[in-house]
Amino acid sequence: MVRRISRRAVLRAALLGGAGAAAGVAAAPAVRSWCGWDRPPVSGGYAAAADDLGVVAHPDVNIHYRGRTSEKLVAFTFDDGPAPHWTPAVLDVLDAAGASATFFMVGRNLARHHRLVDGRLARHAIGNHSWSHPDLATLDQRQVYDELHRTHEVIREHTGRTPEVFRPPFGHLGGSAVLAADRMGYDIVLWSDEMHERSFGGDPQAQAKFIVDSVRPGSIVLAHDAGDDRRLITVDGLAAMIDGLRRRGFRLVTVPELLAANQPAEPSGPALALH
C-alpha cells in the first residue's frame, strides 16, 4: 500500500508534530513534537523552510511500506551495511539463489568498505540510509540534507548507481527527513515485515518459517547486513526463506521493481486527508 500524501499535508502534519503517525509510520516515536526539536527549522515553519531549501520539484512525497500488488512479489531489504563478514555472507546466499534484494547503505560504511560490494550489486538495488545513522528526527533540515546528499554522492562514486529510495534510520520519519527526501527526489521506503533477530531462540529455521508464513504479495521485509551476532539468525536462515517463499510462488525483487509493479490507487483517492 502506498501513502500518497500531498506536500502541503506533510508539511502541515510535520508542523503539528504528527507526520510520523499520520504517515502510518510504525510504532516508533517518529516525529518529535515541535518543542522536541533543537530549534525550529526556519522561522516561518516548514513551508518557508521548503521554499528556502528549494524544495519545489516534487509535488508529492511517496511513502511506501509495502507494494500495492496482488502479484506474489516480495522485496527483501538489508540495512546498515556494507560491513565485513555480514554483507559478503548475505551476497553469497543471494548469489547462490539468484535472488535480488535492496541494500539500504550507510554512507560512511560504504566509503570504508566499498570493496566488499565491488562488482556484486548488479542484480540488486541500492538505497540511501543516511551517512552516519543518526535519528534524523533530532536533526535540523540542513543536517538531514547533508546526511542524505553525502550518502547519495558516495553511492554514485563507488557503485556508479543513482539511488532512488531512502529509508530513515530506525524508521523515524520527521518533517526534516520528508523535506530532504523531497529535495533529493527520493521515495521513502519503510517496511511491512521484519526479521525477529532476538526471538526464536536464535533458531534460523524458526525465523525462516515465520517469514515464509507471514509474507504477503507486496511485502517489504526488513533485515540487516551489519550489527551484532544475533542477526546471524537472518543470514543462516536466508536460504531457507528464499526457498520457502519460492515454493509458495513468490519472486524476490528489488524495491524499485516492486514499486514499479504497483497497481493503480483506488479512485477514492489518497488514504490521508489532512488538509
Query: CA 210, CA 215: separation in Å to the nearest integer?
Result: 9
CB of 185 to Zn ion, least distance (A): 21
Choose the binding region for Zn ion from 78-86, 180-188, 230-238, 250-258 (rule: CB under 5 A). Answer: 78-86
Identify whether the C-beta of residue 272 lies closer than 8 Å to the C-beta of residue 7. no
Decide if residue 169 touches Zn ion (CB under 5 A): yes
Q: What's the CA angle centered on 194, arms 264 and 163, to 5 degrees?
A: 60
Q: Is 168 or 237 the residue whose CB approaches Zn ion more closely? A: 168
CB of 108 to Zn ion, least distance (A): 12
Q: Is 13 or 190 the residue whose CB approaches Zn ion more closely? A: 190
CB of 87 to Zn ion, least distance (A): 14
- Tell me the per-residue interface mask from 238 to 267 with Zn ion, x by CB under 5 A, - otherwise: ------------------------------
CB of 221 to Zn ion, least distance (A): 14
- Cα 47 versus chain centre, distance: 25
The size of the chain, in residues, is 275
Decide if residue 80 touches Zn ion (CB under 5 A): yes
Place of cell 542484480: 123
Identify whether the C-beta of residue 226 lies closer than 8 Å to the C-beta of residue 81. yes
Take residue 151 and report the three cell numbers written for it.
Answer: 550518502
Q: Is 169 or 256 the residue whose CB approaches Zn ion more closely? A: 169
CB of 269 to Zn ion, least distance (A): 33
Q: Is 73 or 77 the residue whose CB approaches Zn ion more closely? A: 77
Q: What's the CA angle centered on 30, arms 26 and 32, to 5 degrees?
A: 155
CA-CA distances (angstroms) from residue 270 to 9, 60, 137, 165, 180? 11, 11, 25, 21, 22
Choose the binding region for Zn ion from 53-61, 77-85, 157-165, 195-203 (rule: CB under 5 A). Answer: 77-85
Q: Is 196 a catalytic residue?
A: no
- Cα 54 versus chain centre, distance: 24
# chain residues binding Zn ion, by CB under 5 A: 3
Q: Is 80 or 225 the residue whose CB approaches Zn ion more closely? A: 80
CA-CA distances (angstroms) from residue 107 to 104, 210, 255? 9, 31, 19
The answer, yes or no, to whether the previous bond of 82 is cis (omega within 30 of 0) is yes
CB of 267 to Zn ion, least distance (A): 36
Q: Is 224 a catalytic residue?
A: yes
Decide if residue 147 touches Zn ion (CB under 5 A): no
Pairing type for strands 187-189 and 193-194 reads unpaired
Considering the candidates 64, 79, 80, 113, report the single residue annotated as catalytic: 79
Helix (H, G, I), strand (E, B) or coil at 79: strand
Q: Is 184 or 190 the residue whose CB approaches Zn ion more closely? A: 190
Considering the candidates 64, 152, 172, 224, report the single residue annotated as catalytic: 224
User: Which residues contact Zn ion (rule: CB under 5 A)?
Assistant: 79-80, 169
Which positions are catalytic?
79, 224
